[in-house]
Amino acid sequence: MWVLLLMSLISFIIFIERVLFLHRGQIRSSEFVTGIKNIVRKQRLVEALTLCEETPGPVPSLVKASLLHFGEKEEKIRYEIQEAALVEIPVLEKRLGTLVALAKSAPLVGLLGTVLGLAQTFYNMEQGGNYSDATVLSNGMWQSLITTACGLAIAVLTYLGFHFLHGRVRALVRDMEWTGNELLKFIVSDLRDEGITPVMEEERSKDV
């Protein structure tokens, strides 16, 4: 039971930490990207990059990666966006594998506790000799089965927590995919068709 309680505590801590982390990274992607587009159209690239750095989450990281390579070819921009996504996705999925491992092992730990408890019960009955009765057996079995019930309960709750977090991660990944495609189209097509070429403020000051 102590092992199961420790496993449940670890699962709970991981779940709360991941919920807070994913909630912090969940932003309104469409509004953020629209704001970045407006800033870039005003040729204030540094302001757009600063906004990306100050905003938490994977979406601003993808936007920053695309803006840093604004003047390069489409293949290069696409590559940088994909590289940024490959860095961000493992961060989003961090510790989810631990939750799965705890969910799978909790019933086995509970079953092990039950087997050990039953073994102890039969040993006590053997030591009692002729004075042992059905009450000793029933009490021992009842106490032993508690570990299996707790293990199954921990597994169910941990699996539910994992699927909840996995859904949040998938939602963020969909936002990242949409953001990457939207920024690539914006940089490669829209801005160049409009003839806008954002430059760093430092470069603009040098030209002046």
Residues 25 and 90 in one domain: yes
- For tokens 């994909």, the residue is 82
pLDDT bin (cut points 50, 70, 90) of residue 192 is low
56-85 average pLDDT score:
83
Residues 6+ apart with CB under 8 A from 191: 40, 41, 70, 197, 198
Residues 82 and 25 in one domain: yes
Residues 44 and 88 in one domain: yes
Return phi, psi of residue 58, to 5°: -75, -30
CA–CA separation, 77 and 179 (whole Å):
13
- Domain contains 4: no
Give the type of residue at 64. Answer: K
* Helices within 129-188 (DSSP H only): 134-185
- Domain contains 55: yes
- Domain contains 6: no
CA–CA separation, 93 and 113 (whole Å):
32
For 163, counting Cβ atoms within 10 Å of its Cβ (0-12 exposed, 13-18 middle, 19+ buried), the class is: exposed
For residue 194, what are its two tokens?
Answer: 């409009």
Does residue 21 have a pLDDT over 70?
yes
Give the number of domains in the chain.
2
Per-residue pLDDT tens digits for 131-180: 556 665 666 677 778 888 999 999 999 999 999 999 999 989 888 888 88
- Domain contains 119: yes
- Domain contains 88: yes
- Domain contains 111: yes
What is the per-residue pLDDT for 85?
87
Residues 32 and 133 in one domain: no
What is the per-residue pLDDT for 153?
93
Residues 184 and 143 in one domain: no
Does residue 200 have a pLDDT over 50?
no
For residue 62, what are its two tokens?
Answer: 């993808």
pTM of the model as a whole? 0.77
For 81, counting Cβ atoms within 10 Å of its Cβ (0-12 exposed, 13-18 middle, 19+ buried), the class is: buried
Q: How many CA within 13 A on the CB side of residue 183?
A: 32
pLDDT bin (cut points 50, 70, 90) of residue 193 is low
Residues 31 and 65 in one domain: yes
Per-residue pLDDT tens digits for 108-132: 998 888 888 888 777 777 766 655 5
Per-residue pLDDT tens digits for 28-61: 878 888 888 888 888 777 888 888 888 888 888 8
Residues 52 and 102 in one domain: no
Least confident of 21-25, 160-164, 187-191: 187-191
Which residues constitute the domain of residue 150? 97-163
Residues 28 and 68 in one domain: yes
Give the type of residue at 134. Answer: A
Residues in the chain: 208
What is the per-residue pLDDT for 205?
39
